[in-house]
Structure 1
Amino acid sequence: MSRLGLVVAVLVACSSALASPRTLTEAEQLASVSAPFAATREHVTGDIYHYQFDIRVGSTPNARLRIHRVVRELSPWRPRPATHAVMLLHGDFANFVTNFVPSLGNPTSSAPGLAPYLVSRGIDTWGVDRRWTLPTTDGDVSDLAGMGVNQAIGDTAVALAFARATRTVTDRDPGRIALGGFSHGAQLTYAYAAADGRHVSAIAALDIYYDIAPEDADLRALACANAAAGRDALAQGVTDSSNSLFITAGQLARSTPDEPSPLFPSYTNRGVVLTLAGLTWWLAPYTPLYHLSAPVLDAEGNVTGLSESSEDSVSAWFASAPPHQSMREAVEFDEIWCGTSPRPSLANIRVPLFYLGAAGGFGDHGLYSTTRVSSTDVTTLVIHRFGPERVAEDFGHGDLLYAEDAPTLAWGPFAAWLLHH
């Protein structure tokens, strides 16, 4: 066995001991981790490097865990020990790299990235990609139908156990770590902490709701309608919620921004990305004026630019999206919001919680969920640029990750909270 193979075998053994699996699924996953596996290392900036581990956990085409670690190094493959650690879960039409280390994406982004920022503040930063991010455009998606929330919870548990085991070896620290997520990754963070939570010392939800407030009955009704439509699609054999719209829009905006769009002929390619980012509520009204990026609006309400995130970072975010996404996961997330599926209660969560919202995203609508946990240590921060009369122009959902001022407004408070917990 190679030296690297021996290291991974030791880590897997440690993972099994740390995990004490409660379910057969997780036990089987941990037991099946074996060679062949792939481990890569790439430079981010300064002494910060990105490690990626692809580890097979089953026999289906995409039964792999893609685990990420962004860390400062003492020397190649030798991380600088850190006393604080977090695992970050990505959102829709993204993976760990494109959400949190976008400078390594394809295409590369000018956004510096939350993960390197946290690492530079002494926080060992991990992540795991959900399985639907793995297939290529023409890849095997025959197991896409099985990629639901329960599988994602199980994969998160295994990834957390692997991270803790690795830190036992490299940092002499077997302790629990924080779990944070962005968007639907934050909904998964809530779900994991409510269902299991054994590996986590604290959780952070970046702009999401899990329980919808009574006064937001219209948002619940939307989730119920989406869940019903999604169930119908699943019954008809639709398993792929394709990200082709975002990919094509992003690519065209980068290559021929001023040409008429083949997607929406009344817009230019640039105009399509500006509209998808700044008027997202047209397609996805998670809140009444929900948008991914704070728009600059003209007198007619058209988007003429973006005020927080650069067009380069937003188009790169779109263009680098994984081609496939699980319809089942989307439906099950909607069913959690609707309240029509068995789900773990937020009352099971007793660890510290940090909610970071964007006024133009889920924003204040995400605060109700923070009142439903049993934790006595709850911190909330919603970033507002304007008053409620200008929410349509305010800090957007994706601005938490890509805005020029995100390090000051969002990442700094998040890092301070992690260092305190």
Structure 2
Amino acid sequence: MSSLHLQKIRAQALLNIISKEFTQLSRDVRSVIIIVLIPLFLLIVFGYGVTMDIKNVNLVICDFDRSEFSRNFIEKFISSGFFSFYDEVESVDAIDRYLISGKVKVGIIIPANFSNEVGAGRTVKVQIIIDGSDANTANVVLGYVQQIIQSFSSDIIANFIFKKTGKLISTVDLKPRVWFNPELKSVNFFIPGLMSLIMMIMTVLMTSLSISRERELGSFEKLISTPLNPFFIITGKAIPYAILAFFDSILILLAGRILFGLEVKGSLLLLLLITAVFILCGLNLGLIISTITKSQQATMAVAFISSVVPSFVLSDFVFPIRNMPFVLQLISYFIPARYYLEVIRGVILKGNGIWEHISSISILFVFMVWTFGVGTMRLKKLMREI
């Protein structure tokens, strides 16, 4: 048999494997639903439901002064947009009851000498009580409180100087400038991370079931009887899922633009190229897992624990890696989603190019080649055993 004829046979066998995978997907309605609807569902849930922005925090006030100064002070909180006025009480005990019931998160106690002390230019103590049962929310709320009090104090200082000198003097002119996410929308932070999580779910979970399904149905023997070596078998198995995962990545970007106004500031071509590399990393991992496990149930469990969970926890998607124990920080270096997330956040939010992330991109390429090599060797071993 000539070499050219053998190549034609191999090419036809490769196309048959790819066609068979697409045929199986088209007959499996559940897989189609997972591939198309789950990414959109997760995007909407994370975009609208999961947010680090805290607004309309219920506020209860105990004002013993009842003066114009104290009303202006209270108005600073209500007009900020962070707090929502819930009730005004006559005693500190009433604030305690509200906090214990969980109806309010913040209580403010204004002393009776508030206006006199402020009018005289002296420091006055205002008690702020915050529900600390949710530590993260409490820290954010505390930051809001400090910001509002600082703004009120600056206004008072300026008015006090005007009364003493007859001249309006600006004490502090604060002009903050926020880069990369001016509106401080947490959805802009979540969507790139969601892309990495969905890509990992689509590639690892879906492809890891591929060979496991073949083994359970008894069709794996037919597969290895073709004139294809493990390299072409893995390629044929991976291409359909790579195309679908790539389609999902574009779908997420379009949905993020339409629903949340998230714009890609950097090179779209670079973003898609890195996404393709990350998709191949996930596909290779899925195929490696499918050669290790024997049943589809075991495959799903191993794939979920070994790839999806680490990609969610150890990729800097939600939880900052720098705040983790040293051991977990070391483990995170072996999670490809960490490097992918760093790159796409830089491209989408900052407009970075390839050179700003050359180290992360290089590691992803190395990981892609390494996992493909391991997957090929594992498949060779499996074929010999059968």
Higher strand share: 1
What range is the shorter-chain TM-score in? under 0.3
Q: Normalization by structure 2: what TM-score? A: 0.22
Higher helix share: 2
Structure having the higher Rg: 2
